[in-house]
Amino acid sequence: MGKIIVGNWKMNGTREEAKELVSGIISGLQDVEYGQIKIILCPPFTALAIVSEILNKQRMEIKLGAQNCHFLPCGAYTGEISPKMVADFCQYVILGHSERRRYFNEDDALVNRKIKSALEYNLRPIVCVGEWKKGDSSQGILSQVKEAIKGLKRDSLRNLIFAYEPVWAIGTGDEADPSYANKIIKEIKEAVGQNISVLYGGSVTSSNISGFVKQPLIDGALVGGASIKAKEFVKIIKRVMK
Ligand code: PGA
């Protein structure tokens, strides 16, 4: 299985800035063999159209993801975006990111509902789980995993990607120890009981990415801050391919 690198742009970028960023990434990746790696960009909703247009025009192998979605296909939910609308542009959707759990009170039951609905629209959910405090046991993480997959058929499980993102490591520059992340990812894979991809996320940069992807069970990375600098993101991808 090739490695997966996801760029989570979070709440950053006007259309013009998004255009510049994706163009920078494309030109930095001219010589890349896409068979070895899957790249997924997750711009904010307002930039999905422009980024998708640019990727299509360039016939790039890069895939598109959204950062969230509602669980209903349509309706009177001011300010929300449905999985059906996301599926218009994207193949992937990040669900249960700790910033959604923390600032928008998303709980495990809601994340589970969103996952089921995203799958109905043929979106592949990238489900984020992780402990809040350094040193917390893996019990909480595994309970997030079990709640996320509750009621899912075995068949649909293989369409999920998990991202192990220790919350204390997100945006702090204090990344997890790669062998520790590998151990937790092993437990996540065992809890799902299917051969699924699990990524690591939290302060990934071009200087530490190699340590993570060298681990036997880490299938790639979910990159936040370092994904909105074209040169740095390209560097991360090239390190993964070495
Ligand atoms: P970071 O964010 O790379 O900036 O730590 C990762 C994430 O939140 O997905």
CA of 224 to the centre of ligand 1 (A): 4
Residues near 105 by beta carbon (within 8 Å), at least 6 away in sequence: none
Q: Per DSSP, what are the bridge partners of residue 5? A: 39, 221
CA of 218 to the centre of ligand 1 (A): 16
Q: Which of 99, 106, 131, 165 is catalytic?
A: 165
Q: What is the token pair recorded at 13?
A: 């970028």
Task: Please give the model's pTM, rounded to 2 decimal places.
Answer: 0.97
HSE, side-chain direction, 13 A CA sphere, residue 71: 12
- Looking at residue 36, its pLDDT comes to 82
Q: Domain spans of the chain?
A: 3-240
In angstroms, the CA 85 to CA 89 distance is 8
The residue contributing the CA closest to ligand 1 atom 1 is 224
Closest to 178 (Cα-Cα) out of 144, 155, 154, 201: 201
pLDDT in tens, the chain (242 residues): 689 999 999 999 999 999 999 999 999 998 887 778 999 999 999 999 999 999 998 867 899 999 999 999 999 999 999 999 999 999 999 999 999 999 999 999 999 999 999 999 999 999 999 999 999 999 999 999 999 999 999 999 999 999 999 999 999 999 999 999 999 999 999 999 989 999 999 999 999 999 999 999 999 999 999 999 999 999 999 999 98
- Looking at residue 242, its pLDDT comes to 80
Is residue 43 within 8 Å of residue 11, measured between CB atoms?
no
| CATH code for the part of the protein at 3-240 | 3.20.20.70
In angstroms, the CA 99 to CA 106 distance is 9
